[in-house]
Structure 1
Amino acid sequence: MIQKKSIPEILQQLVDQNTEKVKLAITDIDGILRGKIMSFDKFRSVAESGFGFCDVVFGWDAADQAYDNASFTGWHTGYPDAKATVDLQTFRQIPWENDIPVFLADFKDGKKAALPVCPRSLLKKINEQAIKAGFNSSFSQEFEWFNFINNSEELYNSKFSALQPMTRGMFGYSVLRASQNSDFFHAIFDGMTKFNVPIEGLHTETGPGVYEAAILYADILEAADRAVLFKAGVKEIAHRHGYIASFMAKVNEQLPGCSGHVHQSLWSTDGKQNLFYDKKKTSGMSAVMESYIAGQLYCLPHILPMFAPTVNSYKRLVEGAWAPTTITWAVDNRTTALRALPGSASSTRLETRVVGSDSNPYLAMAGCLAAGLYGIQQKMKLTIPATTGSGYANKKNGVLPANLWEASQAMKQSAVAKELFGAAFVEHFTATREWEWRQFSKKVTDWELQRYLEII
């Protein structure tokens, strides 16, 4: 766990270490870390007051193409600076980069209120609501990802068709495959531990060159910080070992997709009681947990882009591919959208399996918590019965939207989504997802050429 220090203590530690430069980072809408390196003298002057950061990070997509449909910022505003505020409690040192200090930041508006379109600020807002309601939110995220041999020039020349996986074959949970790439495998585990992103488990997953990691649980904001830093850190470590790490949700039609399952539980404010557990009930699940599950099931169709944010996300959410497609829940069933894991007073939790590895952890966790709290606040009963058998076959309570456009329109028009996250966020976020769909829709794909060029 990260030891909490006062601002003077943190700054003094940096002085004692003869720090010359500091890395600052924020996440954009897509969960990509954006940032800069700043001299220590400059950092010290902005550590408490904040600094200006161009708001284009919320006005362009993952490829740095400017949105033409967003009102928050654009050519019409001139892309001014937004006020970024350093969270000094996120202090870490990057072990694979000569221990350079790094801090995360989020944004405030001109009135010193949280910026509505900032993902980290949104999660903080939802967490504050949970605390006010008497809940301490314990979360963690696990990721699956592909590792490819780094041949960037060939990849670009072949328009990303020359993918060479780190290893061949499927080899889920393979001790052999992990041993054959042990330098990289242990560099991730050990490097993340030193980086204060502790890993509970790391193993190979089904698919060529696929790994899976479970990050140790923490308070929800710390958990999301860890998840964001994990994805960025793995990419950096992979590069140093000659690989490209990809958290794309679906790399190949013939292979399973990559998940980013979110585990969660609510505790008493003193952290001593797991409020999801009830030893008096046969199921072990408390009324709080049941309402939390009911809230997520109800809200899922309203907020799906927060869990599946890209065009590619929905190619993972297909039947028989280890990802859910229906509005379902069950106890320890990996075919349903929600997997309840009632156990002991310390371990009872919920796993939201809809979330992909391509998700923005701040938005994914905000979506989980807000939907669960909605169920509790509305005193929802868990009227949807637990699925027995295949969740893919159980369509009685509906199916998830089939693509990003459908999901974005549902969220855009949803009064529930606006109630949970605010109209300003929903308007901006869904506009960015509509943009993403438009960029995809105008492209002529290899599939279309192969299907139509000769015969039509």
Structure 2
Amino acid sequence: MTIEEILAYVKQHPSAKVKVAVADIDGVLRGKYISTEKFLSVLEGRLGFCDVTFGWDMADMAYDNAKYTGWHTGYPDAQVKLDLQTFRKIPWENDLPFFLGDFVNDQHQPLYTCPRQLLQKIRSEAEDLGFKAYFSQEFEWFNFAETPESAHHKNFQQLQPLSPGMFGYSILRGSLKNTYMTALFELLCKFGIPVEGLHTETGPGVYEAAIKYAGILEAADQAILFKTAVKEIAYQHGIMATFMAKISEHLPGCSGHVHQSLWDKENKHNLFYKDNDPDKMSDLMKSYIAGQLYCLPYILPMIAPTINSYKRLVEGAWAPTTLTWGIDNRTVALRALPGHSKTTRLETRVVGSDTNPYLALSACLAAGLYGIKNNLVLDKAATQGNGYKDISNGVLPGSLQEATKKMKESPLAVSLFGAEFVEHFTLTREWECKQYAKAVTDWEMKRYFEII
């Protein structure tokens, strides 16, 4: 739709309101309904939005270590510029108009705390080098036959999965709750999130969805909206969906693998493909992979952002633990998928479903571009067989605390994302670690209560 057509649709919608949203540092969408009149009045200006969006965590607990905002600033409004190119109709809300926005400062420049603005910065760097980045993120998630009220009442213990047992790629299980699965597929597509595939994964009540690739900013928009849309559609079916990286030590975790390729500006040539290479991989792709291998230890909090993320990154649980790459190998960190000029791509398998898509995609692209800019040579051979046993290039940091320390102290991270962003983001991860450190867990109660 043209801008004129979008505005005409907004003006004639019978609800006389619009839904708008912004992404916080954790990838949680924060938003509101505003009147059509208000929406039209801020199109050329800015929408005020409390800057506590970047001053608290996902549980609305105010940071005590953040510099951007806090009690010391009085939590004033930040300015949001609505992006009309993100227009969508919400099919489960009577086709209500919906828009995403970007945070900007008083000089109308990108705000360094804004994840969507960071991605646009990295995308511009790729374009300046002559590349068009095409990405997609796929998700696994658990579904439970619960409501927010019942889950809280059970203290999030002994929740009822949507279906029992381990039954990945099951045609049978897909028919068990087919009304929900059909609603997901159809409504997501109507919402501008083109789902290419949807199936059960191994684990009770686990689904996986693949989203069609797009330009990197659109791909991130699709990914972040996918997560919230799935949760909203699930609510309508008496279901709770969760994108936690790890639900149980006895079950596999939930991935958010990122697929990526670079094309020329005319979108005619996949620059990762080379016909006369034995593996059909261009030198550009090899440098891109080398960049990610080199950068991964220093950008890990952006693709494994929570305490829970590192419960997924354990040996034998379908998630990588080593700094490895391989060709069509699901045990390594970076899975190269060469072979065809249209589909040759890299899959970064470290990424979990609990990520902020804007930060995860920013991290992947920035790290790959680092390899290209510095002409890094992929001198490490592709891992054959079990990537968990290949520690020749090192292993991933094993906790959020360790990973955050590496990122905070890394000049490399600053060169990729800017000092202000790195400082703010690592402070939020240190906060997350502190909140966990003071919590008494079920594991501690079971292990120590009676014996000690």
Q: TM-score, normalised by structure 1?
A: 0.98
Residue of structure 2 equivalent to 1:190? 186
Contact 2:140 2:255 in 1 (8 A): yes
Stretches of 4+ aligned residues off by more than 4 angstroms: none
Structure 2 counterparts to residues 88-99 of structure 1, below 5 A: 88-99=84-95
Map Cα deviations across residues 128-180 of structure 1 (whole Å, 9 max, x no partner): 11001100000000000000011433422332113110000111000000111
Distance 2:326 2:126 in 1: 25
Structure 2 counterparts to residues 155-166 of structure 1, below 5 A: 155-166=151-162
2:6 maps to which of 10, 16, 20: 10
Distance 2:333 2:384 in 1: 13
Residue of structure 1 equivalent to 2:405? 409
Contact 2:83 2:100 in 1 (8 A): yes
Find the residue that maps to 2:116 and give its secondary structure.
helix
| Deviation of the 1:98 alpha carbon | 1.0
Find the residue that maps to 2:434 and give its secondary structure.
helix
1:369 maps to which of 352, 355, 365: 365
Find the residue that maps to 1:122 and give its secondary structure.
helix
- State the identity %: 62
Contact 2:383 2:390 in 1 (8 A): yes
1:431 maps to which of 424, 427, 431: 427
1:72 maps to which of 24, 46, 68: 68
Residue of structure 1 equivalent to 2:451? 455
Give the partner amino acid of 1:201. G
Distance 1:376 1:110 in 2: 35
Contact 2:13 2:96 in 1 (8 A): no
Contact 1:48 1:86 in 2 (8 A): no
Structure 2 counterparts to residues 268-287 of structure 1, below 5 A: 268-287=264-283
| Deviation of the 1:15 alpha carbon | 2.2
Contact 1:314 1:402 in 2 (8 A): yes
Contact 2:10 2:18 in 1 (8 A): no
| Deviation of the 1:10 alpha carbon | 1.9
Indicate whether 1:310 and 2:310 are aligned.
Answer: no
Indicate whether 1:356 and 2:352 are aligned.
Answer: yes
Give the partner amino acid of 1:46. V
Residue of structure 2 equivalent to 1:419? 415
Distance 2:65 2:147 in 1: 35
Give the aligned length.
452
Find the residue that maps to 2:281 and give its secondary structure.
coil
Contact 1:278 1:284 in 2 (8 A): yes
Find the residue that maps to 1:23 and give its secondary structure.
strand
Distance 1:269 1:18 in 2: 41
Residue of structure 2 equivalent to 1:246? 242
Distance 1:47 1:297 in 2: 42
Contact 1:262 1:353 in 2 (8 A): yes
Residue of structure 2 equivalent to 1:396? 392
| Deviation of the 1:199 alpha carbon | 0.4
Find the residue that maps to 2:64 and give its secondary structure.
coil
| Deviation of the 1:192 alpha carbon | 0.7
Map Cα deviations across residues 323-361 of structure 1 (whole Å, 9 max, x no partner): 000000000000000000001110000000000000000
| Deviation of the 1:11 alpha carbon | 1.0
Find the residue that maps to 2:404 and give its secondary structure.
helix
Map Cα deviations across residues 96-146 of structure 1 (whole Å, 9 max, x no partner): 111111000011112211101100000000001100110000000000000
2:53 maps to which of 38, 54, 57: 57
Structure 2 counterparts to residues 213-292 of structure 1, below 5 A: 213-292=209-288
Map Cα deviations across residues 350-401 of structure 1 (whole Å, 9 max, x no partner): 0000000000000000000000000000000001111011110001100000
Distance 2:388 2:63 in 1: 36
1:20 maps to which of 16, 19, 22: 16
9-18 or 193-202, larger mean C-alpha shift: 9-18
Indicate whether 1:113 and 2:109 are aligned.
Answer: yes
Contact 1:154 1:162 in 2 (8 A): no
Contact 2:259 2:347 in 1 (8 A): yes
Aligned residues: CA RMSD: 0.9
Distance 2:442 2:281 in 1: 49
| Deviation of the 1:451 alpha carbon | 1.2
Residue of structure 2 equivalent to 1:142? 138
Find the residue that maps to 1:96 and give its secondary structure.
helix
| Deviation of the 1:18 alpha carbon | 4.5
Q: TM-score, normalised by structure 2?
A: 0.99
Distance 2:77 2:178 in 1: 44
Structure 2 counterparts to residues 159-174 of structure 1, below 5 A: 159-174=155-170
1:47 maps to which of 28, 43, 46: 43
Indicate whether 1:211 and 2:207 are aligned.
Answer: yes
Distance 2:16 2:392 in 1: 60
| Deviation of the 1:272 alpha carbon | 0.6
1:383 maps to which of 371, 379, 383: 379
Give the partner amino acid of 1:308. A
Give the partner amino acid of 1:429. F
Distance 1:350 1:151 in 2: 38
Distance 1:449 1:180 in 2: 37
| Deviation of the 1:19 alpha carbon | 5.3
Map Cα deviations across residues 249-299 of structure 1 (whole Å, 9 max, x no partner): 000110000000000000000111000000011110001000000000000
Structure 2 gaps of 5+ residues are none
Indicate whether 1:100 and 2:83 are aligned.
Answer: no
Indicate whether 1:325 and 2:349 are aligned.
Answer: no
Map Cα deviations across residues 44-103 of structure 1 (whole Å, 9 max, x no partner): 011221211101011100100000011011001111111100000000000011111100
Find the residue that maps to 1:392 and give its secondary structure.
helix
